[in-house]
Amino acid sequence: MTTSLVARIEAATARPTGVTFLGGPERERVLWSELHDDARAVAAALQARGVGEGSRVGLLGETSRPLLTALEATWLAGAAAIVLPLPTRLASPEQCRVQTRERLALADVVLTVADTELQPIAGGGPGDAPVVELATLWAEAQRTGPSSYERPADDPGATAVIQFTSGSTSDPKGVVIPHRCILDNLAAAAERAPMDADDDVVVSWLPLYHDMGLVYNAINAMVNGAEFAIAPPTAFVSSPGRWMSWMSELRGTWSVGPNFGIAVARRLLGRGGRLDLSRVRRLGSGSEPVDVTLMEAFAAEAAGSGFDPGALYAGYGMAEATVAISIPPMNSGFTVDVVDDDSLTRDRRADPVAPDRPGARRLARCGPPIRGMELRIVDPETGAALGERGVGEIEVRGPSVVPGYFRNEQATRAALREDGWLRTGDQGYLAEGDVMICGRIKDMIVIGGRNVFPEDLERAVQAVPGVRPGNVIAFGVDAGRKGESVVVAAEIKVGTGDHRPDLIRAEIARAVRSAAGLRLEDVVLLAPGSLPKTSSGKLQRSACRARYRGDELERL
């Protein structure tokens, strides 16, 4: 039985496959065996700097061959990796420096490896752990080689990754992910959707500081020895059409991305020339409630490029469960559950109705829980278990649920019940064995006893001409006895001259009335790039609400 990532990586190096680094001026491909030889040399250099079993290493850099090598080398040295979010263009350098150093201090790292230009963000001040430039470590390893490398003993319980949750920057929590959790989660997911290491080509632009990019893409390909192509997230952001172009050029079969990635990919399909997506076997969306209309539109648009609709799927997961919680079987395609919206929002029941019935709401089916993952729905106030189609908080339990947060007993106790059930904070229900996600409990808007999901309003608003798709946030503000009232903040396309702000506001109000029968308290129009998002691109509703209350949103 394989007991560590190191052992699985070593076994995979026997395969004649490798990794291609995209996004730069020139593509570079190396065999997994070559990357592993380099990683052994870097691991020796890390060990010479005091990195060993049980220690922790911070990694801060753009996705590149040296960074992926340093990630593998960290495990080879027996340490845990903390891949840190890169600075965003909206955050100030000082804010990035404070947040990065806070995470490094909380993780109690012995060393941080950083790109040269990012070294000032990573440390160098009193009390900071030592920082070594990635280029320096890489050059040192190339000179000395792996002769002094000492392989640690396999330990399935050792921590492989500490991933800081991206939702809150004021109270970051480090999710402790042991080797055993990663290997079990990937094995259980593979039973539902097996990877063919002889034929699959995994393509990813997702960041390595997020569980989908790190575990489900990079580590999955690495331990299986599958062909892998990886690009920096900035390469996708600067030219989103490249995702499907990469899939076509590299004969990609396997990829995953969030809603906003699917949205821009659909919009740009075919603009760069004729694409061939006929080899795609598995293309998923997850990390947030999946947009049904968007997924169906993508499948329809991609069909002209040979895309098989059976390859498209929605999944559910989170870092505290390592990554995957539920996924549908291979070739099942994207499916939906149609329920009565009034029953869902007022009675917390997902009663099925005909698709053409007034008030019908469609939710993505995220498949059944993976092997070993127990899932139940409970009343978030009483903890009582709910039956089929009862809407409540999702709780999960299983071998890939992590042991808790790094040196944060309070947060661990709040998330994990004594009997091992993890409180996800997500609201959803079960039907015919499938999991449906309604939204985050903390983001729920309550109006007159009715639960309003902000995702429903956001989907309606982003269809308004002039609004940037994927860049809308709806949230509630206190309205006294009435409960809450609704505010919508939306980024709009500027510079086209086609859309007047006053007309866009009126259309947004009309869209919300049509979708949910609600009157808006306020509509805030913003310039592109103004909405608060996490390091992985998720919208931050609580942060937006706080900025609105503090009159800190810069209205157009």
Summarised one tens digit per residue, pLDDT across range 451-467 is 888 888 998 998 899 99
Coil, helix or strand for 120? helix
Contacts (Cβ under 8 Å, ≥6 apart) of 72: 9, 35, 36, 39, 222
Q: CA-to-CA distance for 399 and 187, rounded, in angstroms?
A: 11
Q: Which two tokens stand for residue 330?
A: 């291979």
Say yes or no to pLDDT of 232 above 60.
Answer: yes
Say yes or no to pLDDT of 349 above 70.
Answer: yes
DSSP 481: G
Predicted confidence band of residue 422 (pLDDT cuts 50, 70, 90):
very high
CA Rg, the chain, in Å? 23
> What is the mean predicted confidence (pLDDT) over 212-239?
94
What is the percentage of the chain residues whose pLDDT exceeds 90? 70
Whose structure tokens read 């409180």? 423
DSSP 345: I
Q: Domain spans of the chain?
A: 5-238, 335-442, 444-549
Say yes or no to pLDDT of 271 above 90.
Answer: no
Q: CA-to-CA distance for 253 and 277, rounded, in angstroms?
A: 8
Interval 48-93: pLDDT, tens: 999 999 999 999 999 999 999 999 999 999 999 999 998 876 556 7
Say yes or no to pLDDT of 167 above 60.
Answer: no
> Looking at 116-120, 164-168, 281-285, 437-441, which range is the least confident one?
164-168
Closest listed residue to residue 43, CA positions, set 91, 17, 6: 6
What is the percentage of the chain residues whose pLDDT exceeds 70? 95
> Are 5-238 and 335-442 equal in CATH topology?
no
Q: What angle do CA 185, 186, 192 make, to 5 degrees?
A: 95
What superfamily does domain 335-442 belong to in CATH? Answer: Luciferase; Domain 3 (2.30.38.10)
Predicted confidence band of residue 538 (pLDDT cuts 50, 70, 90):
confident
Q: What CATH number belongs to 5-238?
A: 3.40.50.12780
Q: Which two tokens stand for residue 337?
A: 């559950």
Q: What CATH number belongs to 444-549?
A: 3.30.300.30
Q: So what's the pLDDT on residue 243? A: 94
- What does the mean pLDDT of the chain come to? 91
Contacts (Cβ under 8 Å, ≥6 apart) of 293: 459
HSE of 482 in the Cβ direction (CA atoms, 13 Å)? 10
- Element at 485 (helix H, strand E): strand 484-492
HSE of 411 in the Cβ direction (CA atoms, 13 Å)? 16
Q: What angle do CA 363, 367, 373 make, to 5 degrees?
A: 125
Say yes or no to pLDDT of 168 above 50.
Answer: no
> What is the mean predicted confidence (pLDDT) over 219-231?
97
Contacts (Cβ under 8 Å, ≥6 apart) of 273: none
Burial class (CB in 10 A: 0-12, 13-18, 19+), 308: middle
359: left (phi over 0), alpha (psi -120 to 50) or beta: left
Q: So what's the pLDDT on residue 446? A: 85
Q: Which two tokens stand for residue 534?
A: 């996490």
> What is the mean predicted confidence (pLDDT) over 380-389?
93
> Looking at 82-96, 241-255, 320-334, 519-533, which range is the least confident one?
82-96
Coil, helix or strand for 471? strand
Q: So what's the pLDDT on residue 523? A: 95
DSSP 190: H
Q: So what's the pLDDT on residue 2? A: 61
Q: How far is CA 368 from CA 191, 290, 387, in A?
A: 12, 16, 16
Q: So what's the pLDDT on residue 497? A: 59
Does the predicted model carry a pTM greater than 0.95?
no
Say yes or no to pLDDT of 536 above 70.
Answer: no
Chain centroid to CA 528: 22
> Looking at 125-129, 151-155, 194-198, 312-316, which range is the least confident one?
125-129
Q: Specify the length of the chain in residues.
A: 556
> What is the mean predicted confidence (pLDDT) over 212-237?
95
